[in-house]
Amino acid sequence: MDPADRAPGAPDCLRQSPDVVSRRLDRAGVLVHLPSNRIFELNETGIRLWELIRDEGDTSRIVNRLAEEFDVDVERANREVRDLLHWFQQEGLVGS
């Protein structure tokens, strides 16, 4: 993906917060934000995004991998990743 095509507000490089623990549960998963003790349940796409943040970190590569793995077009993957990353950031689950 060309950086000019990336959704506004999507950071180039991401990292999981050290204050979050995660567990995959079959096709879904959970995140626990330790300082607030909040628990977040993620669907299959959400937990895969979480894993790719850990493994890849680069937003462009994450979008391309999710588009390929879930057989969706890159534009749609970009929009959905942007929205979920914004939510992750608001909840203190990721940083850049």
6 belongs to a structural domain: no
- The C-alpha atoms of residue 53 and residue 60 are separated, in whole angstroms, by 11
Report the Cα–Cα distance between both ends of the chain, in Å, rounded.
Answer: 19
Residue 24's domain comprises 17-91
69 belongs to a structural domain: yes
Output the pTM of the full model.
0.84
Mean of the per-residue pLDDT values of the chain: 89
Q: Are 7 and 82 in contact (CB under 8 A)?
A: yes
The region, left, alpha or beta by phi > 0 then psi within -120 to 50, assigned to residue 83 is alpha
11 belongs to a structural domain: no
The string of pLDDT tens digits covering residues 45-76 is 999 999 999 998 899 999 999 999 999 999 99
Q: What is the CATH number of the domain that holds 32?
A: 1.10.10
> DSSP label at 95?
E
Q: Percent of the chain, pLDDT > 90?
A: 81
